[in-house]
Amino acid sequence: MTFRVTILGSSSALPTLKRNPSAHVLNVHEQFFLIDCGEGTQLRLRQADINPLKINAVFITHLHGDHLFGIFGLISSMGLMGRKTPLYIYAPKPFDEVLKCHLHYFDTNLPYEVIWMEVQSRKYQMIYENKIMEVWSIPLRHRIPCAGFLFKEKTPPLNVSKEAIEKYSLGIAQCAAAKRGEDIVLDSGIVVPNSELTYIPYEGRSYAYCSDTQYSAKVAELVKGVDLLYHEATFADKDKYLASETGHSTSLQAAKIALKAEAGKLLLGHFSSRYKDDSLLRDEACRIFPNTEIAEELKSYEIKRLKYSQK
């Protein structure tokens, strides 16, 4: 089952020749979720061969332009492309005011409905759920209300193995009981433990998106055990005073969060345009958390169950 994130943008504040402002697309079992929508996201979607009409919902961390300016053009384009299904946008206040203004002046006759769902940036709470996934808001420490997002794939119900069905000649009722986690009593009176009959098809995976924020130990607690952690690393350690002044993190601080969270893997992004060589940021983080990568534009990352290791 697909659980993959594609990087559409990983720059902070300004677009560069190599990087667009923040935007990710998460593919969960072929359901698509857009996370932030900086300038240029429409083009990046086309370059990544992702149809905008397939986007189920949009999650906006906060109302700074480098995370938001792309949403207005995307709303218009979806209308021109003939979208009919409602588009849900999860974002903190006052996005409702901004959206209302846009719809009033620019998209007065959309063929679909745009529905704003408030994200309370100071609360860790489930804000979205369907059959395969939950999304939780993560309070972040930025200059304005800001929330990260934790996407948690649900572990599916137990399956009964074909081998067990044949070996014990299990009927429909017995299979149903085994799927509920029950042991099975055969006609002979022998009790077959559930563990010999069933298996978990796969374990639920998780992805955390944490941008923008100062270092926060609370964030590490809330994403404990996450398989892939995307954390902003706007500045190098030598510029940590700038990180403090602007409400951002350094690469070292991001690595400390990953270590404290016992994350499977760390993906760094939201880089300041001042750094021409982002390997500096990666190398700093790797000193603390070796399983670290730099987010690459248009690259897709398969999210896997990775056992935490300090080695």
Catalytic residue list:
66
81: Cβ–Cβ under 8 A, 6 or more apart, which residues?
A: 52, 53
For every residue of the chain, DSSP letters joined together read --EEEEEEE-BSSS--SS-PBSEEEEEETTEEEEE---TTHHHHHHHTT--GGGEEEEE---S-GGGTTHHHHHHHHHHHTT--S-EEEEE-TTHHHHHHHHHHHT-TT-SS-EEEEE--TT---EEEE-SSEEEEEEE--SSS--EEEEEEEPPPPPEE-HHHHHHHT--HHHHHHHHTT--EE-TTSPEEPGGGTEE-S----EEEEE-S----HHHHHHTTT-SEEEEE--B-GGGHHHHHHHT--BHHHHHHHHHHHT-SEEEEE-B-TT-S-THHHHHHHHTT-SSEEE--TT-EEE---------
Q: At what angle do helices 251-261 and 279-286 cross, to 10 degrees?
A: 40
CB atoms within 10 A of CB 26: 23
Give which of 138, 143, 112, 113 is closest to 127, Cα–Cα: 138
